Amino acid sequence: AQSVTQLGSHVSVSEGALVLLRCNYSSSVPPYLFWYVQYPNQGLQLLLKYTSAATLVKGINGFEAEFKKSETSFHLTKPSAHMRDAAEYFCAVTHTLAGGTSYGKLTFGQGTILTVHP
């Protein structure tokens, strides 16, 4: 079964500082990985996804993530934090069944709340 672990339930940075949100996955088959952002009282918005085409994935709002198979990681980064980046971030992996199908099951990490200080 696939799973993801997000290290750090809360991350606090200053405006303009580097953002690094950590995600490690566990999967017996090549994973498909996603980062979502959730602003207070809203739904989830897809930031980016990894589907094996390229290990460095660029997403919206200046975020990117690098897939590292040797480290089983898919950390999310942004060079310079903005106040508007304050939100909760979820890493997720598709639950891949035998034969590579998904049947729609996403497994989420526990989430990381990002706080940005002026």
**Which lies closer to other proteins via its Cβ, residue 5 or residue 17?**
5
C-alpha separations of 82 from 6, 14, 16, 86 in Å: 21, 8, 6, 8
- Distance of closest approach, residue 33 Cβ to other proteins, in angstroms: 10
Binding positions for other proteins, 36-95, rule CB under 8 A: 36, 41-46, 49, 51, 90, 94
Length of the chain measured in residues: 118
**Which lies closer to other proteins via its Cβ, residue 110 or residue 115?**
110
**Residue 28 contacts other proteins per CB under 8 A:** no
> Can you tell me which of 25, 34, 63, 67 binds other proteins, judged by CB under 8 A?
34
Report helix, strand and coil shares of the chain as percent, to nearest 5.
5, 55, 40
C-alpha separations of 38 from 6, 15, 45, 57, 85 in Å: 15, 19, 6, 19, 10
> Can you tell me which of 32, 63, 67, 74 binds other proteins, judged by CB under 8 A?
32
**Which lies closer to other proteins via its Cβ, residue 13 or residue 93?**
93
Question: Cα dihedral angle (2, 93, 68, 60), rounded to 10 degrees?
Answer: 180
- Distance of closest approach, residue 74 Cβ to other proteins, in angstroms: 14
| 61 three-class SS | helix
Applying CB under 8 A, the residues found at the interface with other proteins are 32, 34, 36, 41-46, 49, 51, 90, 94, 96, 100-106, 108-111
